[in-house]
Structure 1
Amino acid sequence: MVIKKTWNRYLQSYKGLPGASWMLALVVLINRSGSMVLVFMTLYLVHEMGVSTAQAALAISLYGIGGMAGTVAGGFLADKLGYKRIQWVSLFLNGLGFIALGHLHSLRTIQAMMATIGVVAEAFRPANSAAVADSCPQHQLARGYALNRLAVNVGATIGPAVGGLLVLVGYRFLFWVDGLTCLVAALVLLLFYHEPSRTAAHATNGVFGTGSALKDFPFLLFLLVLLCYGMLYMQLLSTFPLFMDSAYGLHASAIGLLFAMNAIICATVEMPLISRFHMVAPLRMVTVGILFFVLGFALLPFGRSGLFAAFTVVLWTIGEILSFPQFSAMVAIRAGERRRGRYMGLYSLSFSTALVLGPAIGGILYQKLGASVLWLSYIPLGLLMIVVLHTGAKPMFEAPSNGRSALELE
């Protein structure tokens, strides 16, 4: 009885979202379920192509640099040419690019192709994020982005798992599967997603007139907070696994279970939690989210068991759940209909930049000052982010007419 009631409540949290937002999430799910080349690209280059680790790492870095350009260009072009068109072009060219990548043999050609794919693939993000905002009424934006994050998390769980099996057969299959899933996602988008007209879309007028995003001071401060948040988050790809191995003595399989637990919690808890607290002011949600997030990492030096590590994962996952959907919703509202792609492009750029800077800076701190200093630094950085959000960046969370929380205006 309790299980049935819980299940019904879980399903209820998804009701009311427009069909277009479900279709966008399906496209993301298909695309992400085939995302496996990047996960195994370093191994492929080292073991199959015989290049050095540094050369393989450079190929991944070039993808990241291309991605930084792609997010900005994708957002700008999405405003000019339409969100659906940019998503379709990105998926289609990305699919062809991954298939072609598997047939290249020159290291320089591979590195150039990785940079090109980075531009094309990451152009999808701002266009997709802007399309979600067009598909959802303003009071459902956080839930719409939570649905998209569900698709990302489920796909990110499927892709590497399937990729690991394909590697046993041959690396070449990775490129074909990744490329074909991109093409399938592009086909589904083209045939089944109907972009709302600009007059019929669930649009907001924006709260910064018609000025440039680069002159929107509260938004720029907000991006700095996101950059800091993203750099802390990206330690999950670098120093966190190292610390779990060296300090906690966890093997790769156990560390993988911690990441799987994060994905499972997001998939099962995020939407019900967002629905349950939909009347809570977004700024308050983000504040609590940041506190949970930094606490989860700051506690790492004080434990050494796998159970304690799992407890910290629960904490920072709750923080992630409370923060990320609100971040996306606030940017969409701030931008308004006509500049949403550009705002989302800069929003995506902050995380792309964090992916480049975060592991490098975190690695230096980890090596020079020690892991404890790195993890404990999360507390003052978290408090600093909260102060900025409650002062200079506070207009991001307010509607222009009466200062009420933007998501409370239905």
Structure 2
Amino acid sequence: MFKLILNTYKTSFSGLSKETWLLSIVMMFNRCGSMAVPFMGLYVTQSLHRSEIDAGLIITLFGVGSILGSATGGKLTDIIGFRPVQILSSIIGGLLFILFSTITHFSTLCVLAVVISFFSEAFRPANFTAVAHYAKEGTITRSYSLNRLAVNIGWSAGISMAGIIASINYKLLFVVEGGVSILVGLAILFLLPQVKDFIKKAKENRSNMVILKPWQDKFYVQFILLTTLFITCAFLMFRVVPVFFKEQWHIDEFAIGIIIGLNGAIIALFEMIMINKIEKKRSPMLFIIIGSVFFAVSYLLLSAPIVFHILTAVLTIVTFTIGEM
């Protein structure tokens, strides 16, 4: 099995550009630096001793900032380029995370949650644009696959470390995340080559584009609405469920980090092999339906009468991850 995994990835990622590898490494550390997000709710309830309602408010505001940041990051990438957006969002976001660790006033934390997530998510569209720019001809799909692999490795490692750090000190979690984010920005500043005439070329490409109106495509709109609902359910697993594990099942932070970290590890190891095995053998819609069923089962496990909480938590994450893949 290990040899199969190794050969699959070796074949998939050979011949990619040096910049593509650098961007993926940067993204890995960026996602590794997202370690504090799943513990945001626990920080509010366990460290600040606020209610679950307040934890839910912080999580919601973090989501609002993420939406705004992702949209704005894409627009700013068109205006000033992907390199400055990645550098600024990483460094400013990192500084704000460190500031977050020093604040105890809840209303201020609510404002910071929006601002921090805004800068954190502004990084991603800029990074995706950079991947497309630096990819060699004929390798763009594999370049994005490497980027996704980096996301999952970073997520798995980050959340596992976060469990250890949170079990020691919650505030330290935000300091470490802020430090990692700043290092990511500095790495891009000093290691990623500057791009000449990117904005000029982007404007030329836009002038030659045929602008389509997605709202006129009813099937597409329906698909996006269903996808939004699906993703909303998915995010609950990493925002709300950690609080459930702690409050209801009394699982400690260290174990929560390891359990949730299984998500990224399983995807990193098996997703590419699964895609190679089942691609084009059935309709994609069938796999979407199967994935949705696994999602539903994972949440039903949370409401089942349970004796062995840690084992059930592991089974929940594994089932959820199969659905995600």
TM over 0.5: yes
Q: Which residue of 2 aligns with 1:65?
A: 64
Distance 1:50 1:269, change over 3 A: closer
Query: Would the aligned equivalents of 1:87 and 1:127 in 2 still touch at CA under 8 Å?
Result: yes
Query: Would the aligned equivalents of 1:97 and 1:117 in 2 still touch at CA under 8 Å?
Result: yes
Deviations 1:68-125 (A, max 9, x none): 2111111111001001111111001000000111112321111111111122111112
Distance 1:178 1:295, change over 3 A: same
Deviations 1:380-410 (A, max 9, x none): xxxxxxxxxxxxxxxxxxxxxxxxxxxxxxx
Give the CA deviation at 1:267: 0.7
CA distance in 2, matches of 1:24, 1:219: 34
The letter for the 1-side match of 2:172 is: F
CA distance in 1, matches of 2:250, 2:264: 19
Distance 1:142 1:220, change over 3 A: farther
TM-score scaled by length of structure 1? 0.62
Query: Would the aligned equivalents of 1:154 and 1:263 in 2 still touch at CA under 8 Å?
Result: yes
Q: How many residues matched?
A: 307
Deviations 1:335-370 (A, max 9, x none): xxxxxxxxxxxxxxxxxxxxxxxxxxxxxxxxxxxx
Query: Would the aligned equivalents of 1:94 and 1:179 in 2 still touch at CA under 8 Å?
Result: yes
Q: For 1:178-189, what aligned pairs fall within 5 Å after superposition?
A: 178-189=177-188
Query: Would the aligned equivalents of 1:95 and 1:180 in 2 still touch at CA under 8 Å?
Result: yes
Q: Which residue of 2 aligns with 1:173?
A: 172
Q: Which residue of 1 aligns with 2:88?
A: 89
The letter for the 1-side match of 2:288 is: I
Q: Which residue of 1 aligns with 2:226?
A: 228
CA distance in 2, matches of 1:185, 1:218: 40
Give the CA deviation at 1:58: 1.4
Distance 1:83 1:105, change over 3 A: same
The letter for the 1-side match of 2:266 is: I
Secondary structure in 1 aligned to 2:16?
A: coil
Distance 1:61 1:239, change over 3 A: closer
The letter for the 1-side match of 2:294 is: G
Distance 1:4 1:75, change over 3 A: closer
Deviations 1:192-217 (A, max 9, x none): 12255567xx99x989953556x245
CA distance in 2, matches of 1:87, 1:257: 29
Moved more, 92-101 or 142-151: 142-151
CA distance in 1, matches of 2:62, 2:316: 34
Seq. identity, % = 30
TM-score scaled by length of structure 2? 0.76
Q: For 1:39-50, what aligned pairs fall within 5 Å after superposition?
A: 39-50=38-49
Q: Which residue of 2 aligns with 1:290?
A: 288
Give the CA deviation at 1:298: 5.9
The root-mean-square deviation of aligned C-alpha atoms, in Å, is 4.1
Q: Which residue of 2 aligns with 1:98?
A: 97
CA distance in 2, matches of 1:17, 1:219: 36
CA distance in 2, matches of 1:34, 1:286: 32
Distance 1:270 1:17, change over 3 A: farther
Name stretches of at least 5 consecutive residues in structure 2 with no aligned partner: none
Moved more, 62-71 or 82-91: 62-71
CA distance in 2, matches of 1:152, 1:59: 24
Distance 1:15 1:36, change over 3 A: same
Query: Would the aligned equivalents of 1:33 and 1:156 in 2 still touch at CA under 8 Å?
Result: yes
Distance 1:168 1:27, change over 3 A: same
